[in-house]
Amino acid sequence: MNVVIFGKGLGKSRQINVSGWAAGVMAMSLTLVLGLVGFGVGYLYSSQTGSGVSADTVVELQDELDGQRDTIAAIRQDKEDKLDALAIRIAQMNARMIRLDALGRRLTVMADLEDGEFDFDTPPAVGGPEEPLSHGSMAAVPDVVEAMASLDAQLGDREAQLGVLESVLARQNLTDRVYPQGRPVNSGWISSYFGKRTDPFTGKPANHTGIDFAGRHGDPIVAVADGVVSWSDDRYGYGLMVEVKHGNGYATRYAHNSENLVAVGDEVRKGQVIAKMGESGRATGPNLHFEVLRDGRRVNPVNFIRKSSR
């Protein structure tokens, strides 16, 4: 390899003959120097002409990428919030359905409906041929929300209607329980009716304020309606007597007892044994003197006994 060297101080050019490994080292060095010079020149040209990617451009791209990430996070959070709200709404509607089922069972019992006529423990039977939906006809989220709102309104209507029906049935049931009906004894026969009669002690015409049931000493006496005991003691002419207030202006009296089984203030149920038959007071033998009062006025008990037998 021949190397020619030119220089002002040398006068004329000189030629050096290089061979072997020295020539290879020199060639590599020369190539490296030329590469560094080329890179430097290219960088200076790029920075002056703006044809490369500057630091400001990188910052702008990074800011745009961060903004897109924030937008995606906001969209994801919004969807999660809507799904959470939808889940809460579904839970509330499910709770209302459970309440309506319980109310329906209660009304079934109150209305004395036949078993199986309204079964709230199993879903209602449905049917019909299958008609698959066409592609793309799946309901969107807004449609589902609108359908849920409509169902919620229907549930509110049904709930209100069942509530009114429950109140009506409750009042009807309460009226039936507190209205005096039935016989105050399980056995025995009517020995004296309500109204005018001959007094058994004086033989003179007198007014009988109740009806008498003749029976055996110690026979059970039962309440003819629900109520609260307002008297349980001896009373002139009546002997041992029990008086029960039933509400709505009604009260009943059970007199000539041999023993009272309830005290003042006790709550009694229709059909409950409240006393035992006797002959205390003005009585010629074991019997029950039974009275019905409405707004403090004695009325004929036979009418209430007959109504219960219809």
- What is the average per-residue pLDDT within 120-144? 59
- What is the average per-residue pLDDT within 44-70? 71
310 pLDDT above the threshold of 50? no
- Whether pTM > 0.75 for this model: the answer is no
> Is 207 in the same domain as 227?
yes
> Is 104 in the same domain as 154?
yes
> Is 252 in the same domain as 208?
yes
For residue 94, being part of any structural domain is answered with yes
For residue 293, being part of any structural domain is answered with yes
For residue 213, being part of any structural domain is answered with yes
Cα(238)–Cα(251) distance, integer angstroms: 16
For residue 295, being part of any structural domain is answered with yes
Cα(308)–Cα(310) distance, integer angstroms: 6
> Is 18 in the same domain as 37?
yes
Higher local confidence (pLDDT), 30 or 67: 67
> Is 169 in the same domain as 240?
no
> Is 256 in the same domain as 160?
no
In percent, how much of the chain has pLDDT > 90? Answer: 33
For residue 303, being part of any structural domain is answered with yes
> Is 168 in the same domain as 233?
no
Angle at 35 between CA 30 and CA 36, to 5 degrees: 100
Confidence label for 28 from pLDDT (cuts 50, 70 and 90): low
160 pLDDT above the threshold of 50? yes
192 pLDDT above the threshold of 80? yes
Confidence label for 62 from pLDDT (cuts 50, 70 and 90): confident
> Is 164 in the same domain as 219?
no
Nearest C-alpha neighbor of 257 from the set 203, 310, 207, 221: 221
> Is 195 in the same domain as 301?
yes
Confidence label for 199 from pLDDT (cuts 50, 70 and 90): confident
- Write the pLDDT tens digit of every residue in 84-126: 877 787 777 777 777 777 777 767 666 666 555 555 556 656 6
Nearest C-alpha neighbor of 275 from the set 238, 230, 240, 224: 240
As a whole number of Å, the end-to-end CA separation of the chain is 140
Among 41-45, 107-111, 210-214, name the one with the lowest average pLDDT. Answer: 41-45
Residue 292's pLDDT is what? 95
For residue 222, being part of any structural domain is answered with yes
Domain extent at residue 36 = 2-48
Residue 89's pLDDT is what? 77
For residue 248, being part of any structural domain is answered with yes
> Is 147 in the same domain as 251?
no
Among 145-154, 263-272, 282-291, name the one with the lowest average pLDDT. Answer: 145-154
Higher local confidence (pLDDT), 17 or 228: 228
Write b or e for each residue in 187-208: b if 16 or more Cβ atoms lie within 10 A of its Cβ, otherwise e. Answer: ebebebebeeeeeeeeeeeeeb
Please give the tally of structural domains in the chain. 3
For residue 62, being part of any structural domain is answered with no
> Is 81 in the same domain as 23?
no
- What is the average per-residue pLDDT within 212-220? 95
> Is 302 in the same domain as 193?
yes
